């Protein structure tokens, strides 16, 4: 009889940068529109409207001495410590990111060697069988790394994987673009481990999609909107179109994923959604419940960190999970038998979802 392998979260970790950037810090900025004209509203009004829509009061930035692979390494150390897994026994190290290492001194993407190779080097892993590679998949990259790991584990190819999401969006943000106030830095890591079980535990189901025909460039790289454009490319987005796309697409994929897992939304304790925009996330989760036949969204089902951590792309979900599991997010906890849903959307446009049950 063939052994049934399932993927269990064995440990989590994160690195939250120390530099706190409050909304008032943007009062000194000069904001310009895409056509290069100065935005006529006062910075006070711009920031007030931004905060009301996104829910962001502050965000975290890395110090000048750190790059993405450094904070990925710190999150990995944290996850390995909490999992008590021997680092030499890992089969894969997968690092999700979008921009590689971007230093404060030279804001150009550095991808050689890969961030995963750099993390493995920093962890001082000797075993050459620990395969390290990067996964650029937009904001859903960390979750896609879990999906890939689940395939490895279920096939018997791997027993343990380390999946990391790390990003320093502050290094690619345009100080003259008001959308840049969303972005932050951070890293989160998760150790997945194979367990033998015929019972439905661990990762129950996942789903993903890529809508590139008409939505590939809702997020893109371009010059600064400022009067003296920097030669380095900076992150841009069509915010309203992205909102509409996410609201239409993410709930459908979550519903599909729940159906694959044969789980009712009423059985779900928490929905951990990519921390992109508080109003958008609330609208998405409310629509999930309506699509699944529920009139209202339960209270406390959607933990949020965006108000104080901002949008750190691939790091938001693993950081959120780590904070909950370690009792560091007030009002939220997870225990044995509870079912959670992960969901993320980002550049590409890529969307994914996962249903997970704790042992």
Which of 177, 196, 215 is at the close of a domain? 196
pLDDT score for 42: 92
Q: Please tell me the total count of domains within the chain.
A: 2
Same domain, 186 and 86: yes
Same domain, 166 and 261: no
Paired residues of 7 in beta bridges = 194
Same domain, 304 and 275: yes
Which of 196, 215, 243 is at the close of a domain? 196
Same domain, 167 and 260: no
Nearest to 75 by CA among 273, 310, 309, 323: 323
pLDDT mean values, one per 10 residues, the chain (359 residues): 82 97 93 89 93 94 97 98 96 97 89 96 98 97 98 95 97 92 97 92 96 93 80 85 95 97 96 94 96 91 96 97 96 94 96 96
Same domain, 71 and 139: yes
Which of 151, 178, 196 is at the close of a domain? 196
160, 125 contact by CB (below 8 A) = no
Residue identified by tokens 């969204």 is 297
d(C-alpha 185, C-alpha 201), whole Å:
32
Can you read off the two tokens belonging to residue 143?
């979750």
> Residues for the chain: how many in total?
359
CA distances to 122, 257, 268, 309, 339 from 262, in Å = 41, 9, 12, 34, 12
8, 195 contact by CB (below 8 A) = yes
Same domain, 259 and 165: no
Residue identified by tokens 């609330």 is 282
Backbone angles phi, psi at 324, to 5 degrees: -70, -50
341, 274 contact by CB (below 8 A) = no
163 CB-near residues (< 8 Å, 6+ apart): 94, 96, 142, 145, 146, 149, 189, 190, 191, 192, 318
pLDDT score for 197: 87
pLDDT score for 1: 44
| 3 state DSSP class of 227 | coil
| Predicted model pTM | 0.94
pLDDT score for 36: 85
Same domain, 121 and 29: yes
Same domain, 76 and 169: yes
CATH number of the domain that 323 lies in? Answer: 3.40.47.10
Can you read off the two tokens belonging to residue 50?
């931004």
Dihedral sign for Cα 281, 345, 102, 73, please. positive
Same domain, 225 and 188: no
d(C-alpha 271, C-alpha 340), whole Å:
6
Q: Which domain holds residue 225?
A: 202-357
Give the helix ranges, DSSP H, for 204-315. 239-261, 278-291, 306-309
Residue 311, CB-side half-sphere exposure with 13 Å CA sphere = 25
Same domain, 58 and 144: yes
Same domain, 178 and 299: no
Same domain, 237 and 349: yes
d(C-alpha 214, C-alpha 207), whole Å:
21
């Amino acid at each position: 009889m063939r052994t049934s392998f399932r993927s269990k979260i064995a440990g989590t970790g994160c690195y939250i940068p120390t530099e706190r950037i409050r909304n008032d810090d943007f009062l000194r900025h000069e904001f310009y529109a895409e056509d290069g004209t100065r935005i006529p509203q006062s910075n006070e009004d711009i920031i007030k409207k931004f905060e009301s829509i996104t829910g962001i009061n502050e965000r975290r930035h890395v110090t000048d001495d750190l790059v993405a692979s450094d904070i990925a390494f710190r999150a990995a150390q944290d996850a390995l410590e909490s999992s008590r897994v021997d680092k030499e026994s890992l089969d894969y190290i997968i690092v999700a990111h979008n921009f590689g290492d971007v230093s404060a001194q030279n804001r150009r993407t550095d991808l050689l060697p890969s961030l995963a190779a750099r993390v493995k080097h920093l962890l001082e892993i000797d075993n050459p069988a620990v395969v390290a590679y990067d996964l650029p998949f937009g904001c859903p990259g960390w979750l896609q790394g879990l999906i890939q790991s689940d395939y490895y584990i279920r096939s018997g190819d791997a027993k343990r994987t380390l999946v990391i999401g790390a990003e320093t969006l502050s290094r690619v943000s345009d100080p003259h673009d008001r959308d840049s106030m969303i972005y932050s830095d951070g890293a989160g890591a998760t150790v997945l481990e194979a367990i033998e079980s015929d019972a439905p535990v661990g990762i129950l189901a996942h789903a993903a999609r890529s809508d590139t025909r008409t939505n590939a460039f809702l997020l893109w790289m371009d010059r600064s909107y400022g009067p003296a454009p920097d030669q380095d490319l900076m992150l841009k987005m069509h915010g309203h179109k992205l909102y509409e796309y996410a609201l239409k697409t993410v709930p459908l994929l979550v519903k599909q994923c729940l159906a694959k897992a044969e789980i009712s939304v009423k059985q779900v304790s928490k929905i951990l959604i990519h921390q992109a925009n508080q109003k958008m996330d609330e609208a998405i989760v409310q629509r999930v419940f309506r699509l699944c036949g529920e009139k209202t969204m339960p209270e406390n089902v959607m933990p949020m960190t965006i108000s104080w951590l901002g949008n750190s792309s691939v790091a938001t979900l693993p950081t959120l999970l780590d904070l909950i599991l370690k009792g560091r997010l007030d009002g939220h906890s997870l225990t044995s038998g509870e079912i959670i849903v992960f969901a993320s959307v980002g550049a590409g446009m890529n969307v994914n979802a996962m249903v997970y049950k704790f042992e």
